[in-house]
């Protein structure tokens, strides 16, 4: 990725499967480290807003495809490791006022995302105490 970005050339036909395997491996390592150190893990899907200005651009369509694949991995790892999972991508609406671009949140979007995740953390903490 660094090589492609630094050259400003991105081949949209590049096979992403190897990168996704590395992503899964790395995320599993982080989860393993947390669990080994008795750190409670909450994992969330990644939000991506394919808004009106970019919805027909191949580059952004490709990015969206990658994000969806990464989110499948996140969900799979949450289930495999029996850790707290927040499907933020499904819970946060793709309203343009929640984003400043396709991936960065507006202050309103940050507040909504924080609410979604904090509710899950509080729910998990409550279940843990009981």
Tens of pLDDT, residues 50-97: 998 999 998 889 999 999 999 999 999 999 999 999 999 999 999 999
Distance CA 100, CA 47 (A): 13
Q: DSSP of 21-41, one letter per residue?
A: HHHHHHHHHHHHHHHHTT---
Q: What is the pLDDT of residues 21-37, one digit of tens each?
A: 999 999 999 999 999 99
Tell me, what's the pLDDT at 126?
Answer: 77
Residue 1 has pLDDT above 50, yes or no: no
3-state class of 43 per DSSP? strand
Angle at 121 between CA 128 and CA 63, to 5 degrees: 135
Q: Cα(52)–Cα(72) distance, rounded to whole angstroms?
A: 25
């Amino acid at each position: 990725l660094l090589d492609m970005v630094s050259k400003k050339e991105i081949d949209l036909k590049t096979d992403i499967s190897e990168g996704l395997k590395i992503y899964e491996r790395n995320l599993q390592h982080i989860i393993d480290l947390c669990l080994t150190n008795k750190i409670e893990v909450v994992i969330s899907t990644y939000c991506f807003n394919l808004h009106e200005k970019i919805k027909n651009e191949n580059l952004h369509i490709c990015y969206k495809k990658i994000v969806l694949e990464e989110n499948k991995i996140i969900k799979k790892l949450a289930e495999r490791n029996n850790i707290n999972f927040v499907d933020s991508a499904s819970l946060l609406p793709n309203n343009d006022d929640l984003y400043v671009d396709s991936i960065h949140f507006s202050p309103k979007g940050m507040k909504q995302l924080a609410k979604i995740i904090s509710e899950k953390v509080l729910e998990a903490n409550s279940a843990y105490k009981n």
